[in-house]
Amino acid sequence: MSSTSMGMKKEWHLSPIAFFFALALLYAPPIAAKKSYVVYMGSHSHGRDASGKAFQTAELKHHRLLTSFLGSQEKAREAIFYSYTKHINGFAANLEEEEAFAIAMHPDVISVFLNKGRKLLTTHSWNFMMLEDGNGETLSSSAWDKGRFGEDIIIANLDTGVWPESLSFSDFGYGPVPSRWRGSCENNTKAGVPCNRKLIGAKFFSKGYEYYAQPIDASMKSPRDYDGHGSHTLSTAAGNFVPGAELFGVGPGTAKGGSPRARVASYKVCWPPTNDEGGCFDADMLAAFDEAIHDGVDVLSVSIGGDPTDYFNDGISIGTFHAVNNGVTVVCAAGNSGPDAGTVTNVSPWIITVGASTLDREFQSFVEIQGDGRFKGLSLSDPLPENRLYPLITGAQAQAANVSAEDAMLCLPETLDSKKAAGKIVVCLRGQNARVDKGRNAALAGGVGMILCNDIVFGNEIIADPHVIPATHINYEDGNAVFAYANNTKNPLGFITAPKSVLGTKPAPFMAAFSSRGPNTVTPEILKPDITAPGVNIVAAYSEGTSATGLPFDNRTVKFNIDSGTSMATPHVAGIVGLLRSQHPDWSPAAIKSAIMTSARTRGNTVAPMLDGSSFEKASPFSYGSGHVQANRAMDPGLVYDMTTEDYLDFLCALGYNQTLIKQFTDEQHVCRDFLSLQDVNYPSFSVPNFSGKATLYRKVKNVGSPGTYGVKIHHPPGVIVSVEPEELVFNRVGDEKEFRVTLMAHWTIPASANITEKEFTFGGITWTDGRHYVRSPIAVGLGN
């Protein structure tokens, strides 16, 4: 459903969501089986300080509403498996489609949507972002120093749980739990999750998942992490300083989170993936959001995503709105579906959406071929048993009987012939199955090692994995050279060097090929992602309840592990948010987001523009948003583009939602302003997706620094002339707000050097500066649409 569709007028007292839900059901084939749905009714009126009686009353109302459709209280009690009673108003229930259709037409209901499954999307990161020096000492006046390491800020994640025994979550040296904390540990036992003064909360939510999957064994029903993903992300955001962290002897250092003195809480909403869905379901996530807001968290990190969809039909959008409405800053992953355009998820304007980029540290393991060939790869595997050259064979050359050469080239399960591969290094192509699974298949066929080669889509993005066989991962160009050598040499021979940690590599950062890209397909007037952060080869705490690779054939357990994804980038930003909350407790979530975005950098350590890991060409705001996060600069951004709940409600008004529906959403009276344009939402970036030759956009900035005068610098997008009025803003005190307008005019003679791509979008930006602060905002313009 597009944002244009959202603007249709209500008929028969149906909300826009309910109207299209009804159409979908009318044209869908009849299915008698029940499914689980979320019935969303907006916000509660009982306030943040409400307690048990108010929650019981809310639950009773949900049962009464459902009873009116199902005919009996008993049926309603059996159908409802969650009542959202604290901040989010609604419930999750098992219903037939006809029942869901009828409920969607009720005037108190905003939307009814299927309980969908979603997917889960370090020792050096903080040095790379200049919070510490090369010896691991905190830099004076850094974000760590100014933000007091996030002391007593409460950072939580929605993920796979937590491994409480990790030293990242030890409470040694911590004082009492902050008195404002209202949460608890649901399974506070040694076998469950014993909490402490660092790990102050842990809960799990599984009812939405269990409706679609097999019931979870009672021994596994706890907030304990049996996957590793949740422990990794939570420790990245706020894990303790842990000296000597390493993985298989490579890359030793002191692990730490972005806010290492913050308190942490874990809300487990993700379970083993189902056959056709991810393992994180909307019904469970909404229950977790409701609890986290009530418990008193300050920052929420959510490394979960799915297909982008309309805001009232999306559990993450709904949950995060209520969180932000209660002062919680929420950081979400952009997704791992790059490099294709239009794949970015978690696009709500109240979310900080994070892409993934690289560090200047690599775990290098080289491929050497007979002669002068030497190609850089990345790995965390054991070395080959002997320091000598080994025979090379491609997956296609080792093709087993009755399988295709294409499948064998990918080293899929049971595609390699042991008579051909035994004793050799197998050269495999990336794609379809897991990278470490390819090495496992090579090993099962008797291979002694594996060289993993990128295809053209993944380009230059290479990942260090803890392979179960001596292996390394090389880029597309080098992979072509290795394939050519193996295919055209009578007795090809090669070697894989042992992994070694190398710092200061260039260029860095560059965008990960897997990081999802804009434009925003739900509301293209909001530029997404917002920011990029380290998300490739990140070392952090892990669960000892699973293997190093998470695959069933691997029996190695680790205290720290390496992982890649926008999942890993997200908690880096969440940790920085904790530092900002500590230094600026009066800043709104929108002000924090603006500070992070407008202080970002779009150039790497070569001073050249950031590159795209897929093509190694210049990256764009559709991949990095406003740029690579700079925690130190974000602490003192000078100006911010602030937004309140009222501004977000105006955004929904501009989408076509009426005032009655919006009142249910917030349980507050909101008057929609006339002639509000989506392009005038006070966002720290600018997007004009359907440029017709002229456009004017309005913004407002607030001074959060010292008094001063800011002038504007303009970077014109190719084909567009940008003007800003006024060209100078004078601020006399902290809190002063000034408005300005940005006018875009077409300049149709586009130089050939502009190299306009991304479906004919062109990019530029504006920067407000007083000579000390640089408040940057990207501009994206859709030409010829």
pLDDT for the residue numbered 761: 92
Name the active-site residue from 63, 229, 584, 773: 229
> Among 18-32, 383-397, 743-757, which is the least confidently predicted range?
18-32
User: Could you confirm whether 229 is annotated as catalytic?
Assistant: yes
CA dist., res. 303 & res. 121, Å (int): 6
| Number of domains present in the structure of the chain | 4
Q: Phi, psi (5° rounding) for residue 515? A: -65, 130
**Which of 498, 522, 549 is where one domain is finished?**
498
Q: Which CATH number goes with the domain that contains 698?
A: 2.60.40.2310
For 291-335, write each residue's pLDDT tens digit. Answer: 999 999 999 999 999 888 889 899 999 999 999 999 999 999 999
Residue 527 lies in a domain: yes
CA dist., res. 666 & res. 101, Å (int): 24
Residue 659 lies in a domain: no
Report the amino acid identity of residue 533: A
Kindly state the percentage of the chain with pLDDT values over 70: 91
Q: What is the CA radius of gyration of the chain?
A: 26
* Higher-pLDDT residue of 45, 194: 194
CA dist., res. 241 & res. 757, Å (int): 43
For 468-477, write each residue's pLDDT tens digit. Answer: 999 999 999 9
Residue 648 lies in a domain: no
Same domain flag for 353 and 435 = no
Kindly state the percentage of the chain with pLDDT values over 90: 74
CA dist., res. 766 & res. 778, Å (int): 7
- Label residue 753 exposed, middle or buried (CB < 10 Å: 0-12, 13-18, 19+): exposed
Sheet strands (E) in 680-727: 686-688, 694-703, 708-715, 720-725
Is 80 exceeded by the pLDDT of residue 22? no
pLDDT for the residue numbered 231: 97
> Among 243-247, 403-407, 731-735, which is the least confidently predicted range?
243-247
- Mark out the alpha helices in 434-587 (DSSP H runs): 435-444, 476-488, 566-583
CA dist., res. 531 & res. 519, Å (int): 14
For 156-192, write each residue's pLDDT tens digit. Answer: 999 999 999 999 999 999 999 999 999 999 988 888 8
Asked whether 274 and 212 are in contact (CB, 8 A), the reply is yes
pLDDT for the residue numbered 131: 66
Same domain flag for 534 and 437 = no
What is the signed CA dihedral for 432, 437, 442, 448, rounded to 10 degrees?
140
pLDDT band at 58 (very low <50, low <70, confident <90, very high): very high
DSSP string, 219-268: GG-SSB-SSSHHHHHHHHHHPPPEEEEEETTEEEEEE--SSTTSEEEEEE
**Which of 114, 130, 155 is where one domain is finished?**
114
Q: Tell me the pLDDT of the chain averaged across its residues.
A: 89
Residue 251 lies in a domain: yes
pLDDT for the residue numbered 275: 65
pLDDT for the residue numbered 615: 84
Bridge partners of 157? 266, 301
Q: Give the Å distances, CA to CA, from 5 to 9, 19, 656.
A: 10, 11, 9
> Among 266-280, 331-345, 536-550, 765-779, which is the least confidently predicted range?
266-280
Sheet strands (E) in 386-464: 390-394, 425-429, 449-453
Same domain flag for 98 and 125 = no
Q: Which CATH number goes with the domain that contains 323?
A: 3.40.50.200
Same domain flag for 88 and 173 = no
DSSP assigned state of 610:
P
pLDDT for the residue numbered 28: 43
Is 60 exceeded by the pLDDT of residue 690? yes
> Among 422-431, 740-749, 751-760, which is the least confidently predicted range?
751-760
The position carrying tokens 């370090």 is: 122
Same domain flag for 128 and 101 = no
Same domain flag for 339 and 372 = no
Sheet strands (E) in 105-248: 111-114, 117-120, 154-159, 199-204, 242-247
pLDDT band at 747 (very low <50, low <70, confident <90, very high): confident
Assign residue 327 a region (left: φ > 0; alpha: ψ between -120 and 50; beta: otherwise).
left
DSSP assigned state of 200:
E
Same domain flag for 319 and 353 = yes
Same domain flag for 148 and 106 = no
**Which of 87, 114, 141 is where one domain is finished?**
114
Q: Which CATH number goes with the domain that contains 91?
A: 3.30.70.80
Is 60 exceeded by the pLDDT of residue 123? no
Is 80 exceeded by the pLDDT of residue 18? no
Residue 660 lies in a domain: no
Identify which of 129, 125, 152 has the alpha carbon closest to the alpha carbon of residue 578: 152
Same domain flag for 354 and 367 = no
Name the active-site residue from 46, 63, 142, 159: 159
Same domain flag for 145 and 192 = yes
Same domain flag for 448 and 347 = no
The position carrying tokens 């889509």 is: 457
Name the active-site residue from 567, 599, 623, 777: 567
DSSP assigned state of 276:
S
CA dist., res. 460 & res. 293, Å (int): 41
Same domain flag for 217 and 336 = yes
Residue 662 lies in a domain: no
pTM: 0.90
Is 70 exceeded by the pLDDT of residue 586? yes
Mean of pLDDT values over 433-454: 95
Residue 450 lies in a domain: yes
Residue 487 lies in a domain: yes
User: Could you confirm whether 567 is annotated as catalytic?
Assistant: yes
CA dist., res. 267 & res. 290, Å (int): 11
Domain holding 77, by residue range, is 5-114
The position carrying tokens 């008797």 is: 446
* Higher-pLDDT residue of 753, 100: 100
Identify which of 422, 424, 498, 435 has the alpha carbon closest to the alpha carbon of residue 468: 435
pLDDT for the residue numbered 372: 77
pLDDT for the residue numbered 642: 98
Take residue 763 and report the two structure tokens written for it. 């990019």
Asked whether 290 and 86 are in contact (CB, 8 A), the reply is yes
